[in-house]
């Protein structure tokens, strides 16, 4: 009787890539829901559109590479990229924006580098940066939060806005606040105000802020934080990168705020504005493009946190996670080379 030969171990944990990706997507849902609550159906439509485009382009590329498309689609990584890009771009951005971004993310950033596991840059963030640089107007036109907006877009209006059948004058309505002033994101508002010579407390008294953080954005970030904590609990991600980002951002923001509370944003505003929690738990933790050792990951996260603070405070862009993540991606191989754990039985440094 002949038996089967295989190398040990003969058991394996039943936790596969597809499951991990699926869990990450599920943990994104609370944040997505809160975003829809504050900014209308647009985000959901963008996410759906992105998923469709992502799966289509992934399958097409796999076909071209003569690989099995089902295997690639089955790992849920393309879907995760699509969801991340979908929640990152303005809810009422025209449809072609997300299409261009998603195709770029999947085809150029991911598949041309060799597919899953081989890409150097975070696909969603590389696509976001491409769109931000190429279409700055569309990429910075955020909808005013529904609680303080003059007019909130319903499902039909969102669809019309995205697919281009809405007059631009009507579209503009959705970005107006109660006071009829166009509403940028809280970080953008603060940056503009500080540049205009206002103090941060004066800026924070505007309707887009509720006194300390941005209206809506605080809850969005809180929802992503909750989702992230679930991910940590499930061990789909490890704590080092997220902690590194949040600690570095908090420390930098605290120092800046203590030195000049009038012309700096508070640590609270930094932590609960823009893409902070989304990036800290869902974007920067993409293992493919991050450092791999524990210490290396903490450094990787801390680098992102610092870069975010400096770009937000001194750079030309109100939010900075996409740039910071890409820059840290570049440093990941370097970090991995120099930051290695001490092997059992070896002295430090050997």
Partner 1 sequence: MLTLLDQLDQGTLWRSPGGIHPPQEKSLSNTTAIARLALAQQYLVPVPQVGESCTLSVKVGDRVLKGTPLTQGTSLQHLPVHAPTSGTVIAIEPRPSNHASALPVNTCVIAADGQDSWCPLQPSDPAELSQQQILDKVRSAGIAGLGGAAFPSHIKLNPVSEIELVIINGVECEPYITSDDRLMREHSDDILAGIAIIHKLVQPQRIVIAIEDNKPEAAEAMTQAIGRSQLPVGSTRVTVIPTKYPSGGEKQLIQIITGKEVPAGAIPAQLGVLVHNVGTAYAIQAAVLQGQPLVERVVTVTGQSIGRPGNYWVPIGTPVTHLLEASGSTAFAGQKIIVGGPMMGHALPQTQVPVLKGTNCILAPGAAELATEVEEKACIRCGECAQACPAQLLPQQLFWHAKAEEYDKAAGFNLKDCIECGCCSYVCPSDIPLVEYYRVAKSALRQAAEDKLQAERAKQRFEARLQRLEEEKLAREAKAKEAAERRKASMSPKDKDAVAAAMARIQAKKAATETAAVSPDAQATEAAGGNKSAAVAAAVARAKAKKAQQAQTDSPAAVRTEVQTEVQTEVQPAAADDKQAKIAAAVARAKAKKAQQAQADSPAAVQTEVQAEVQTRVQTEVQPAAADDKQAKIAAAVARAKAKKAQQAQADNPAAVQIEAPTEVQTRVQTEVQPAAADDKQARIAAAVARAKAKKAQQAQTDNPAAMRTEVQNEVQTEVQPAAADDKQARIAAAVAKAKAKKAASAAKQDKE
Residues in contact with partner 1 by the rule CB under 8 A: 1-13, 15-17, 19-20, 71, 75, 77, 115-118, 238, 287-288, 290, 292-294, 297, 336, 340-346
CA 6 from chain centre, in angstroms, equals: 42
Give the three-class secondary structure for 182.
strand
Residue 89: CB atoms within 10 A of its CB come to 26
Nearest CB to partner 1, comparing residues 270 and 297: 297
Nearest CB to partner 1, comparing residues 16 and 63: 16
CA atoms within 13 A on the CB side of 17: 15
Nearest CB to partner 1, comparing residues 211 and 346: 346
Nearest CB to partner 1, comparing residues 4 and 137: 4
Give the three-class secondary structure for 287.
helix
**Helices 17-39 and 77-88, packing angle to 10 deg:** 20
Taking the complex as a whole, how short is the minimal distance between the CB of residue 1 and partner 1, in angstroms?
5
Taking the complex as a whole, how short is the minimal distance between the CB of residue 106 and partner 1, in angstroms?
15
How far is the CA of 295 from the CAs of 146, 230, 300, 310, 327, in angstroms? 42, 22, 8, 23, 18
Nearest CB to partner 1, comparing residues 7 and 165: 7
CA 69 from chain centre, in angstroms, equals: 26
Taking the complex as a whole, how short is the minimal distance between the CB of residue 15 and partner 1, in angstroms?
6
Distance between CA atoms of 147 and 158, rounded to whole angstroms? 17
Q: Partners of 149 in the beta sheet?
A: 177
How far is the CA of 118 from the CAs of 50, 67, 295, in angstroms? 22, 16, 22
Nearest CB to partner 1, comparing residues 260 and 341: 341
Nearest CB to partner 1, comparing residues 65 and 172: 65
Structure tokens at 254: 């605290």
Give the three-class secondary structure for 117.
coil
CA atoms within 13 A on the CB side of 232: 13
Residue 73: CB atoms within 10 A of its CB come to 18
Taking the complex as a whole, how short is the minimal distance between the CB of residue 248 and partner 1, in angstroms?
20
Q: Could you write out the DSSP letters of every residue in 32-92?
A: HHHHHHHH-THHHHHHHHHHHHHHHHHHHHHHHTTS-HHHHHHT-HHHHHHHHHHHHS-TT
What is the helix (H) or strand (E) element at residue 244, kind and residue range? helix 239-259
Structure tokens at 164: 């281009």
Nearest CB to partner 1, comparing residues 5 and 196: 5
Taking the complex as a whole, how short is the minimal distance between the CB of residue 297 and partner 1, in angstroms?
8
Taking the complex as a whole, how short is the minimal distance between the CB of residue 83 and partner 1, in angstroms?
17
Taking the complex as a whole, how short is the minimal distance between the CB of residue 109 and partner 1, in angstroms?
15
Taking the complex as a whole, how short is the minimal distance between the CB of residue 304 and partner 1, in angstroms?
17
Nearest CB to partner 1, comparing residues 234 and 268: 234
Taking the complex as a whole, how short is the minimal distance between the CB of residue 340 and partner 1, in angstroms?
6
């Amino acid at each position: 009787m002949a038996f089967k030969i295989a190398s040990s171990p003969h058991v394996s944990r039943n936790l596969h890539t597809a499951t991990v990706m699926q869990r990450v997507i599920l943990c994104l849902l609370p944040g997505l829901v809160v975003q829809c609550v504050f900014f209308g159906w647009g985000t959901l439509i963008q996410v759906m559109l992105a998923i469709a485009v992502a799966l289509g382009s992934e399958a097409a590329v796999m076909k071209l590479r003569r690989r099995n498309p089902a295997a690639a689609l089955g790992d849920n990584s393309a879907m995760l990229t699509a969801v991340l890009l979908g929640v990152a771009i303005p809810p009422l951005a025209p449809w072609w924006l997300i299409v261009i971004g998603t195709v770029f993310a999947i085809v150029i950033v991911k598949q041309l580098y060799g597919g899953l596991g081989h890409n150097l840059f975070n696909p969603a963030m590389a696509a976001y940066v491409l769109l931000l640089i190429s279409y700055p107007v569309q990429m910075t036109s955020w909808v005013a939060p529904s609680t303080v907006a003059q007019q909130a877009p319903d499902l039909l209006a969102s669809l019309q806005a995205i697919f281009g059948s809405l007059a631009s004058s009507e579209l503009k309505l959705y970005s107006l606040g109660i006071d009829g002033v166009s509403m940028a994101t809280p970080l953008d508002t603060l940056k503009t105000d500080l540049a205009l010579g206002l103090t941060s407390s004066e800026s924070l008294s505007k309707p887009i802020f509720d006194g300390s953080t941005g209206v809506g954005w605080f809850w969005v970030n809180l929802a992503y934080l909750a989702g992230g904590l679930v991910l940590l609990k499930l061990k789909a991600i490890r704590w080092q990168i997220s902690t590194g980002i949040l600690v570095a951002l908090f420390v930098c923001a605290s120092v800046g705020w203590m030195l000049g509370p009038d012309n700096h944003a508070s640590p609270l505003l930094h932590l609960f504005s823009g893409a902070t929690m989304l990036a800290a738990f869902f974007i920067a933790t993409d293992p493919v493009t991050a450092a791999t050792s524990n210490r290396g990951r903490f450094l990787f996260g801390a680098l992102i946190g610092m870069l975010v603070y400096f770009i937000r405070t001194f750079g030309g862009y109100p939010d900075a996670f996409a740039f910071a993540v890409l820059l840290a991606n570049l440093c990941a191989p370097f970090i991995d080379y120099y930051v290695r754990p001490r092997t059992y039985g070896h002295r430090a440094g050997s």
